[in-house]
Amino acid sequence: MATIETEAVVLRTLRYGESDAILSLLTPGLGRVSAIAKGARKPTSRQGGRLQPGVRLHVMLVEGRGDLMTLRSTQVVDAGAGLWVDGYRLLAAGCVLEAALRVVPEHEEAAASFNVITRALVLLRATPPREGEPRLDPIVLGTQAKLLAASGLVPRLASCAACGAAPPLTGFSATAGGAVCTPCVVGSGAERLDPAAADALVGLLSRPLADAPAQVDADAAAGVERMIALMLREHLGVTLRSGTPLSVTTRPR
Ligand SMILES: [Zn+2]
């Protein structure tokens, strides 16, 4: 059976059986893959402690019959130190990993997404905690915007996404694929466009991730998150749990 050596970021670790773990990994060449780490949860395992979400590894994977691979060996490339001691950064990193988990397809080349996620995890270590929610941190929003672009879903924001008209654009319609003019708002299910948020999203899409903090004012962050969430829901059927709820959810009692 084929053996694959690759770099990987751990997106999620699930307990499996008595002592195994099933990992979701993000790799450049294979996108998202699932792999079983046998014995990883035994107290004597040298591997187990390394397999935490956010850790970057060099791994050897063995292909199985189905989609589940077997993790044969791991070397830590970057343990993500500094990310896990701070509540704000920890939560922001969790949002970044969740976005990759939900948006990057399985078993498809994903070098761009891999680079975005590894870059985001490095940047978040040095990011100063902001006022407000970690999920609205510019690095988190910039990561989501770039994953959107990597999925071929760059929203059209410079001219009407429905009819091509020049600005002014007053609405945002994920169905149309971006900002829409006033005549196209009617009947398109468009929401009101926040011009500051639209500018911020253009900045996030066109600038390197490291420049994200300069692109997003605190006032624009929720609007950026909303546009990304609408695109993800409309075109990929994905709702990020870390993001703004798109419908009211009832809390379990
Ligand atoms: Zn139009």
pTM of the model: 0.92
- Give the distance (Å) from ligand 1 centre to CA of residue 161: 7
Cβ pair 26, 110 in contact under 8 A: yes
Q: Do 57 and 157 belong to one domain?
A: no
The total number of structural domains in the chain stands at 2
60-66 long-range Cβ contacts below 8 angstroms, 24+ apart: 60/3, 60/4, 60/5, 61/3, 61/4, 61/5, 61/6, 61/33, 61/35, 62/1, 62/2, 62/3, 62/4, 63/1, 63/2, 63/3, 63/4, 64/1
- Give the distance (Å) from ligand 1 centre to CA of residue 184: 4
Which residues form the domain of 117?
87-236
- Give the distance (Å) from ligand 1 centre to CA of residue 188: 10
- Give the distance (Å) from ligand 1 centre to CA of residue 93: 38
Q: Is residue 248 domain-resident?
A: no
- Give the distance (Å) from ligand 1 centre to CA of residue 215: 26
- Give the distance (Å) from ligand 1 centre to CA of residue 170: 10
- Give the distance (Å) from ligand 1 centre to CA of residue 243: 28
Q: Is residue 253 domain-resident?
A: no
β strands within 124-182, DSSP E: 171-173, 178-180
CATH for 121: 1.20.1440.120
Q: Do 43 and 73 belong to one domain?
A: yes
Q: Do 65 and 102 belong to one domain?
A: no
- Give the distance (Å) from ligand 1 centre to CA of residue 176: 10
State how far the Cα of 70 lies from the Cα of 97, in Å rounded to an integer: 21
**pLDDT tens per residue, the chain (253 residues)?**
799 999 999 999 999 999 999 999 999 999 999 999 998 888 888 777 788 899 999 999 999 888 899 999 999 999 887 777 778 999 999 999 999 999 999 999 999 999 999 999 999 998 888 888 999 999 999 999 999 999 999 999 999 999 999 999 999 999 999 999 999 998 778 999 999 999 999 999 999 999 999 999 999 999 999 999 999 999 999 999 875 444 333 333 3
Q: Do 31 and 136 belong to one domain?
A: no
Place of tokens 């059209």: 156
- Give the distance (Å) from ligand 1 centre to CA of residue 169: 8
State how far the Cα of 150 lies from the Cα of 14, in Å rounded to an integer: 27
pLDDT of 193-224, one tens digit each?
A: 999 999 999 999 999 999 999 999 999 999 99
Q: Do 22 and 135 belong to one domain?
A: no
